[in-house]
């Protein structure tokens, strides 16, 4: 059993409620075709995707994505830009950063056809932002199948994590928060051009590639970030954007103790300094 998408909800309501949404066939076919051609050129072996293996195809691009102009166009795609603008409630909030990676999971003979029973969040042993400044999305460039190494999402966990942080903003992942990230996952099995949008606090996991027909997983793993970080939310406000609504599980009006960005940067800097002083 995997978690079923609730098709009665709009994608934005699904994102708010479950911490993720799937938009089928969203990125333009021209973009997807050119991006896949650029990936194939980078690999250089001319083999069809079902013959890609861990030996002949690296999981992370050999070439920096900054040198892959077709991939860069992901942020010019009208469907993608519409997601960003809709999430933030206006085209004025996006910070313009093209921050993404190419994730490629070729068939792995030694792996098992299974997905992780638990997720992670990306804020490891550091402050976890209650609000943060954006969301994540993946754009599928090729057809995948169950166990292709697709990302899995642990639905609804963004709420539990945010509530725990409201109670105690000093909680950290994994030591305090891992138990909240175990539930029935959703696996992003994709057709080319499908997009998965997910919350910065929702549990998610990478998986091994061992699908029946040996299809690999090829996606762009992207961030949609705002110019400004949020400091405060009033869940009762009628004008919240979908992104803000997904951050309104605070149980009432909530204001951060300090700027979250500065908090994370200072925390990391102090940790580095302590490490340097210890050697």
Q: Nearest approach, Cβ of 122 to Fe ion (angstroms)?
A: 4
Q: Nearest approach, Cβ of 99 to ligand AKG (angstroms)?
A: 13
Q: Which is nearer to Fe ion, 109 or 122 (CB)?
A: 122
Site string for ligand AKG, 74-103 (x = CB under 6 A): -----------------------------x
The item of ligand AKG, Fe ion, none sharing an interface with residue 103, based on CB under 5 to 8 Å by kind, is: ligand AKG
Q: Which is nearer to ligand AKG, 103 or 154 (CB)?
A: 103
The item of ligand AKG, Fe ion, none sharing an interface with residue 206, based on CB under 5 to 8 Å by kind, is: ligand AKG
Q: Nearest approach, Cβ of 245 to Fe ion (angstroms)?
A: 23
Q: Nearest approach, Cβ of 154 to ligand AKG (angstroms)?
A: 11
Interface ranges with Fe ion (CB under 5 A): 122
Q: Which of 151, 189, 190, 225 binds ligand AKG (CB under 6 A)?
A: 151
Q: Nearest approach, Cβ of 122 to ligand AKG (angstroms)?
A: 5
Residue 275 backbone class (left: φ over 0; alpha: ψ -120 to 50; beta: rest): alpha
CA distance 133 to 65: 23
Q: Which is nearer to ligand AKG, 200 or 245 (CB)?
A: 200
Q: Residue with the closest Cβ to ligand AKG?
A: 206
CA distance 39 to 97: 21
Q: Which is nearer to ligand AKG, 16 or 136 (CB)?
A: 136
Site string for ligand AKG, 189-228 (x = CB under 6 A): ---------------x-x--------------x-------
Quick one: three-class SS letters along the chain? CCCCCCCCCCHHHHHHHHCEEEECCCCCHHHHHHHHHHHHHHHCCCCCHHHCECCCCCCECCCCHHHCHHHHHHHHCHHHHHHHHHHHCCCCCECCCCCEEEEEECECCCCCCCCCCCCECCCECCCCCCCCCEEEEEEECCCCCCCCCCCEEECCHHHHHHHHHHHCCCCCECCCCHHHHCCCCEECCCCCCCEEEECCCCEEECCCCCCCCCCCEEEEEEEEEECCCCCEECCCCCCCCHHHHCCCCCCCCEECCCCHHHHHHHHHHHHHHHHHHHC
Looking at residues 118 to 147 of the shown chain, list those that interact with ligand AKG (rule: CB under 6 A): 122
58 binds ligand AKG (CB under 6 A): no
Residues at the interface with ligand AKG (CB under 6 A): 103, 122, 151, 204, 206, 221
């Amino acid at each position: 059993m995997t978690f079923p998408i609730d098709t009665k909800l709009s994608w934005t309501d699904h994102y708010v409620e479950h911490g993720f949404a799937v938009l089928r066939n969203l990125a333009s076919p021209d973009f997807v075709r050119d991006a896949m051609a650029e990936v194939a050129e980078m690999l250089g072996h001319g083999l069809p995707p079902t013959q890609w293996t861990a030996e002949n195809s690296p999981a992370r691009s050999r070439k920096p994505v900054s040198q892959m102009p077709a991939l860069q166009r992901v942020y010019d795609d009208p469907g993608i830009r519409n997601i960003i603008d809709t999430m933030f409630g206006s085209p004025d909030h996006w910070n313009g950063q093209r921050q993404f990676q190419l994730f490629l999971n070729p068939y792995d003979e030694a792996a098992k056809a299974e997905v992780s029973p638990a997720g992670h969040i990306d804020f490891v042993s550091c402050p976890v932002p209650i609000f943060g400044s954006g969301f994540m999305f993946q754009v599928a460039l090729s057809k995948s199948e169950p166990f292709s190494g697709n990302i899995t999402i642990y639905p609804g966990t963004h709420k539990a994590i945010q509530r725990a942080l409201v109670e105690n903003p000093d909680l950290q992942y994994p030591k305090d928060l891992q138990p909240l990230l175990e539930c029935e996952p959703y696996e992003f099995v994709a057709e080319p051009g499908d997009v998965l949008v997910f919350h910065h606090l929702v549990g998610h996991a990478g998986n091994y590639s061992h699908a029946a027909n040996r299809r690999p997983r090829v996606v762009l793993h992207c961030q949609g970030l705002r110019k400004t970080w949020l400091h405060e939310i009033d869940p009762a406000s009628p004008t919240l954007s979908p992104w803000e609504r997904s951050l309104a599980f605070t149980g009432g009006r909530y204001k951060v103790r300090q700027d979250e960005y500065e908090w994370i940067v200072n925390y990391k800097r102090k940790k580095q300094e302590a490490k340097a002083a210890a050697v």
